[in-house]
Amino acid sequence: RPRVPLVCTDIVRPFPMSLEFEGIQEYQGFMLALQRQAGRRDSSSLVRGAPMEDLPFLEILPADNLHEPVQTRIMFDTHAEVLTIDTAGDILMECAKYRVLLHLRDDQKPALLVTGIRPQR
C-alpha cells in the first residue's frame, strides 16, 4: 500500500506516522486534490493562523468513543517531502491505525493514519 510520511508541528511524537492508501489511485487522488486546493508549500513559508475554511483540513477519527475527532490543517512540505499537520491532539498511540478524512471544498478523501513502533535506544 502507498504511504506518505506525516509530521506534526505541535509536538514530537515518539513513533513514526504516515498516511496509508488503499492503492495508487487513492494515493494520487488524495495528493492531487490536496495540492490543487492548498498548493505545495515550502516549509520555511508555512503560514500559521490562516482560516480553516480557506485550507483543506484532515479529520482524524479516534479508535475509541472516549475521544473526540481532531481537525487539523494539512499541507505538503516540498523540502522534507512529507505531509505536515498542525496537531494530532492526544488520541494517537503507537502501532495503531486511525481512519482519516481529507476535507476539501467540494469533496472528502479517505485514508488511514498509521503509527509505528517507538524506536529502541
Question: For every one of its 121 residues, what pLDDT tens digit does the chain have, with 9 covering 90 and above?
Answer: 999 999 999 988 899 999 999 999 999 998 988 888 876 554 444 445 555 566 789 999 998 888 999 999 998 888 888 999 999 999 999 999 999 999 988 889 999 999 999 887 6
User: Residue 53 has what pLDDT?
Assistant: 60
pTM of the model: 0.83
- Smallest CA-to-CA distance from 37 within 57, 59, 55, 19 is with 55
CA atoms within 13 A on the CB side of 40: 7
